[in-house]
Amino acid sequence: MFSHVTGVCVSNILDDQQQGFVLTILARKLQPSALAEVFKLISQFGLSVVNIQQLTKPVVDDNPLARAALECHLQGLLDDLPKARAQLLELSVSLGIDIALQPTAAYNTQRRLACFDMDSTLIQAEVIDRLAEAAGIGEQVAEITEQAMQGKLDFTESFKRRMALLKGLDESVLSEIADALPITEGAERLLKNLKKLGYKTAIFSGGFTYFGEYLQSKLGIDYVYANQLDVVDGKVTGEVKGEVVDAKKKAELLKQLAEQEGLTLAQTVAVGDGANDLLMLAEAGLGVAFHAKPIVKESARYSIATLGLDGVLYYLGYSDDELADD
């Protein structure tokens, strides 16, 4: 078994008749009882544990932002990977942990491009809702946003409805909102380490370029693709310039940027929380639903609901010993 992180052979146990997997478990603190439940289910799948590695440093009991990550190399045949993942997701929700099951071949892929949704992923806010609050129509717009993110409304149509309500908003509000945006836990550590590891990074957002470029400068992100607010005489017109960045556009951008960087889709990572991220998560080699809406979490192959964004680093196989601190 070849590790993409260390570049050395981890194990030669797997023969041609068996398929290897890597199981990663994340939590604020891993309880022995929870691990026992996970390994019991793994055994029921017909998989056996070959190797276990602790990826994180010892957890301090009173630290609310503690990170615990365990990586297990497995062997055995698995007839229905999607079904196994669905069962692991159900178990993870009941235990308050995250579980990722990756085929070893996928895990060992040299990934080099990481693309992120912005609102409720890189930042803990929906910018369009913040704009609506400034315009005095917060509740009305927030309700439409929530329905769109849950997949109950067409994103493009809901976006146009929300934009129309913002007509007349003063341009000066934009900088005030940008300065107050709360960066998601782990985002800075994740981006810092991805840059160190040679990744290219991008924002694909159904939000706005003004805020994407603000984050680009703050987090050192390489590319930003988002909607451009139309402003005339210092006032928001209620429209955007150019094509709306919706679910289909995000998936197209992922393919285009991978090709531009000379990469395959298997070498890409995508992270998002909303229904308009589903297509890009499905296209990426590692598509992670982050603190996501139910429809997204159930549809994505991988998810994180317990840790911050830097939890993605553990799904990529890196340990704290290999990573820069916060």
Q: Does 319 map to a domain?
A: no
Q: Does 83 map to a domain?
A: yes
Q: Does 168 map to a domain?
A: no
What's the domain range around 33? Answer: 1-108
Question: Which residues of 98-234 form beta strands (DSSP E)?
Answer: 98-103, 113-116, 200-208, 223-232
DSSP 37-87: HHHHHHHHTT-EEEEEEE-SPPPPTT-TT--EEEEEEEEE--S-HHHHHHH
Average pLDDT, the chain: 92
Question: What value does the mean pLDDT take over residues 115-136?
Answer: 95
Q: Who's near 111: CB < 8 A, 6+ residues apart?
A: 199, 266, 267, 268, 269, 285, 286, 316
Which pair of tokens denotes residue 149? 């993110």
Q: Does 303 map to a domain?
A: no
CATH number at residue 25: 3.30.70.260
Tokens 């030669």 label which residue?
Answer: 12
Q: Does 95 map to a domain?
A: yes
How far is Cα 96 from Cα 254, in angstroms, rounded to an integer?
31
Work out the pLDDT band at 161, boundaries 50, 70, 90: confident
What's the distance, CA 321 to chain centroid?
22
Q: Does 101 map to a domain?
A: yes
Measured N-to-C along each axis, helices 127-134 and 155-165 cross at an angle, to the nearest 10 degrees, of 20
Q: Which of 269, 284, 265, 283 is nearest to 317 (CA)?
A: 269
Q: Does 11 map to a domain?
A: yes
Q: Does 281 map to a domain?
A: no
Q: Which of 119, 81, 108, 88 is nearest to 271 (CA)?
A: 119
Q: Has this prediction a pTM greater than 0.85?
A: yes
Show which residues are catalytic.
Answer: 117, 119
The pLDDT value given to residue 9 = 42
How far is Cα 25 from Cα 70, in angstroms, rounded to an integer?
5
Work out the pLDDT band at 158, boundaries 50, 70, 90: confident
279: helix, strand or coil: helix
Work out the pLDDT band at 7, boundaries 50, 70, 90: very low
Q: Total structural domains in the chain? A: 1
